[in-house]
Amino acid sequence: MIFAVMVALLVTMVLALVRAFMGPGLYNRILAINTFGTKTVLFVAVAGFLFGRPEFLDIGILYALVNFVATVAVLRLTHLQDPWSGTEGGEAG
- For other proteins, the binding residues in 5-34 under the rule CB under 8 A are 5-21, 23-34
Q: How far is the CB of 60 from other proteins (least distance, A)?
A: 5
**Minimum CB–partner distance for residue 15 and other proteins (Å):** 3
Q: Say how far apart CA 56 and CA 11 lie, in whole Å.
A: 24
- Alpha carbons 44 and 57: distance in angstroms, whole number: 7
Window 74-93: residues binding other proteins (CB under 8 A)? 74-80, 82, 84-85, 88-91, 93
Q: How far, in Å, CA of 25 to CA of 27, rounded?
A: 6
Cis peptide bond N-terminal to 24, omega within 30: yes
Interface characters, 33-72, with other proteins (x: CB under 8 A): xxxxxxxxxxxxxxx-xxxxxxxxxxxxxxxxxxxxxxxx
